[in-house]
């Protein structure tokens, strides 16, 4: 996860219990990565390590990296055989003597990193020539209805949400030139809608906001937070609540790029 997530607290237990769909939905991206036995792969923004472990089980040496020490601690505890490290994706470099990697993989993490040039530079340094960067994250228009409802509530209370907006949701047209300028050849880029059931029935939206909207709600009194969440739920119910479940309007940017 990125360092710019001001006020964002990562609670590994809540993440696994309530937001476990993040890793489950990332499984398809592993197929696009197509890891081969013997390869060295970084999982950037690995959270509590579920996808890094799936990659490792394919006979890969996988290093899971995350900016949150709590997430890395939880990952190492869950998967003692795995290799995990706290790292800031926007500026990490390989350690002394560490071999370059064959691929960098990242699921649902890059939208927390507001300095994409720094991330791309770090990834470029970590890869061997011909190494691949395979990533999926929130793209332009991601969670648009939720963002609109939330920012409307914040603006109505005079809260300057722009300065604390924690996410980076680029379009294909914005992100692929950064990859090219960073020394990558873009082989694949797609922006697609992926409506995402939030689970937990009526509590799904509340859990999502609790897990992810901390930076936007930071500094507001608990009663005000509750009112904001209630008002968001009322505004969003007609479009995002279906058959007893909240379905978030996720839109993903998926890329495959190769280091020249
Ligand atoms: C996402 O996975 O698209 C996402 C998660 C949390 C906040 C914003 C977006």
pLDDT for residue 19: 66
Residue scoring higher pLDDT (115 or 9):
115
pLDDT at residue 1 tops 50: no
Domain 12-259 is classified in which CATH homologous superfamily?
Vaccinia Virus protein VP39 (3.40.50.150)
Residue to mutate (ligand 1; options 11, 29, 142, 240; most atoms within 8 A of CB): 142
Binned at pLDDT 50, 70 and 90, residue 4 comes out as very low
Q: Is the CB of 167 inside a 6 Å radius of any atom of ligand 1?
A: yes
With a pLDDT cut of 70, the percent of the chain lying above it is: 95
Measured distance CA(71)–CA(158) in Å, rounded:
34
Name which residue sits closest to atom 7 of ligand 1, judged by CA. 212
Arithmetic mean of pLDDT, 28-35 = 96
3-state secondary structure the chain: CCCCCCCCCCCHHHHHHHCCHHHHCCHHHHHHHCCCCCCEEEEECCCCCHHHHHHHCCCCEEEEEECCHHHHHHHHHHCCCCEEEECCCCCCCCCCCCCCEEEEEEECCHHHCCCHHHHHHHHHHHEEEEEEEEEEEECCCCCHHHHHHHHHHHHHCCCCCHHHCCCCCCCHHHHHHHHHHCCEEEEEEEEEECCEECCCHHHHHHHHHHHHCHHHHCCCCHHHHHHHHHHHHHHHHHHHEECCEEEECCEEEEEEEEEC
Name which residue sits closest to atom 6 of ligand 1, judged by CA. 212
Q: What's the predicted TM-score (pTM) here?
A: 0.92
Binned at pLDDT 50, 70 and 90, residue 36 comes out as very high
Mean pLDDT over the full length of the chain: 94
pLDDT for residue 16: 75
Arithmetic mean of pLDDT, 197-210 = 94
**Residues 9-20: tens digit of each pLDDT:** 777 877 777 666
pLDDT at residue 106 tops 70: yes
Arithmetic mean of pLDDT, 53-70 = 98
pLDDT for residue 9: 72
Name which residue sits closest to atom 5 of ligand 1, judged by CA. 212
Binned at pLDDT 50, 70 and 90, residue 5 comes out as very low
Q: Is the CB of 147 inside a 6 Å radius of any atom of ligand 1?
A: no
Across 24-33, 43-52, 56-65, 150-159, least confident range: 24-33
pLDDT at residue 183 tops 90: yes
Arithmetic mean of pLDDT, 117-140 = 98
pLDDT for residue 20: 67
Name which residue sits closest to atom 9 of ligand 1, judged by CA. 138
State which ligand 1 atom lies nearest to the alpha carbon of 142.
3
Arithmetic mean of pLDDT, 58-87 = 98
CA–centroid distance, residue 216 to ligand 1 (Å) = 13
Name which residue sits closest to atom 3 of ligand 1, judged by CA. 138
CA–centroid distance, residue 139 to ligand 1 (Å) = 10
pLDDT at residue 122 tops 50: yes
Q: Is the CB of 212 inside a 6 Å radius of any atom of ligand 1?
A: yes
Name which residue sits closest to atom 1 of ligand 1, judged by CA. 138
pLDDT for residue 23: 73
Q: Is the CB of 168 inside a 6 Å radius of any atom of ligand 1?
A: no
């Amino acid at each position: 996860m990125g360092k710019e997530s001001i006020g964002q607290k990562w609670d590994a237990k809540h993440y696994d219990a309530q937001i476990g769909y993040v890793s489950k939905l990332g499984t398809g991206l592993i197929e696009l990565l197509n890891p081969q036995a013997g390869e060295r792969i970084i999982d950037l923004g690995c959270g509590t390590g579920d996808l890094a472990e799936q990659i490792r089980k394919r006979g890969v040496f996988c290093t899971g990296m995350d900016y949150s020490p709590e997430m890395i601690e939880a990952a190492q505890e869950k998967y003692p055989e795995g290799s995990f490290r706290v790292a800031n994706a926007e500026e990490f470099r390989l350690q002394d003597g560490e071999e370059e990697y064959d691929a960098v993989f990242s699921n649902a993490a890059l939208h927390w990193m507001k300095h994409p040039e720094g991330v791309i530079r770090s990834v470029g340094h970590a890869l061997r020539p011909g190494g691949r960067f395979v990533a999926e994250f929130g793209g332009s228009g991601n969670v648009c209805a939720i963002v609109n409802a939330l920012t409307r509530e914040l603006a109505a209370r005079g809260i300057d949400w722009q300065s604390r907006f924690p996410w980076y949701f680029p379009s294909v047209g914005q992100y692929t030139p950064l990859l090219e300028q960073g020394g990558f050849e873009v082989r694949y880029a797609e922006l697609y809608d992926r409506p995402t059931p939030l689970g937990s029935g009526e509590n799904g939206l509340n859990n999502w906001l609790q897990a992810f909207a901390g930076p936007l709600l930071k500094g507001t009194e608990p009663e005000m937070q509750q009112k904001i969440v209630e008002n968001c739920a009322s505004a969003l119910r007609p479009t995002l609540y279906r058959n007893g479940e909240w379905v978030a309007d996720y839109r993903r940017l998926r890329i495959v790029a190769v280091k020249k």
